[in-house]
Amino acid sequence: MSGALRYFRLYAQLARYTLVRELSFRGNFLVKVSVEVLWLGILLAFYRVVFSKTSVIADWSEPQYLFFVGCYFAMNGLLETLFLENCNEFAELVRKGDLDFLLLRPIDEQFLITCRRVDWSTAPNVLMGVAVMGLSLVNLDWAFDPMRVAVFLLVFGCGVMLAYSFMVLLTATGVWLVRNQSMMELWWLFSSLTRYPREIYLRVSWAEPIGLFFTFIVPFLLVVNVPAESMVKMLDWRLVGFTLLATAVSLWVSRWFFRRALRSYRSASS
């Protein structure tokens, strides 16, 4: 327990330090936040136009789909705030030899490498996503259900950990590739997959293998779909259970692969 408290205090100090540094350039901070607000507005306007021509998309009504979009925006915002910037910089740490200084610290390497900075400019995305989800629930006349809320929070956390696991796997390749920008671009490919309900892929014969692959083999389609479905659609306990299992396996695999990559790292002094 003392170890967990130590990490929590350290993370709080790191978050405070990055916030102070971010606010040193307030203009840049406000521009980045404005871009994210504009992006959400464009996204909502696009789906408003789509639903003006149809009542459902792959069995998702407009209020349900609005919740899905809010869940995606909150999830993506949380990942960008907590992890993405750190993972993107890993290849540069390897190339310049700065990784040596992090590995010498008396703390878990994966924690320090992937969590040392918080990108506060994308943190408002989480609040905006929550606001969109709240608006959709109002439009649905949703009655408060404690069990659904608990399941949603559980699988939302699993979605964050699933996405984090894939991010760590891509990040670790920087040890061997050194410049792995093309590998990190795969992250944007994966995140674009989560922008749409998985039923879209399962409704078309040629796309069905893609949907099944990214649901059961590389379970990235679970990241947003399962939390959104558990809140505004039928609660599928089998899919919830599979999400929990997939999260545990993905975390273990990514942890093993990351440590394997660090064992292969040759310091700048060698």
Q: How confident is the model at residue 83, as a pLDDT? A: 93
Q: How confident is the model at residue 100, as a pLDDT? A: 86
Q: Determine the distance from the C-alpha atom of residue 207 to the mean position of all C-alpha atoms in its chain, rounded to a whole number.
A: 24
Using one digit for the tens of pLDDT, what is the confidence trace for 15-40? 888 888 887 777 878 888 888 889 88
Poorest-pLDDT segment among 26-30, 180-184, 264-268: 180-184
Q: Is the pLDDT of residue 126 over 90?
A: yes
For residues 93 and 99, the answer to whether their CB atoms sit within 8 Å is yes
pLDDT band at residue 143 under the 50/70/90 scheme: confident
H-type helices in 24-121, by residue range? Answer: 26-51, 62-79, 85-88, 90-96, 99-103, 109-115
Q: How confident is the model at residue 265, as a pLDDT? A: 83
Using one digit for the tens of pLDDT, what is the confidence trace for 5-18? 888 888 888 888 88
Length of the chain: 270
pLDDT band at residue 178 under the 50/70/90 scheme: low
Residues 6+ apart with CB under 8 A from 33: 121, 124
Copy the structure tokens of residue 103: 């590995």
Cα–Cα dist 75/91, whole Å: 24
- For the segment 172-188, the average pLDDT, to the nearest whole number, is 75
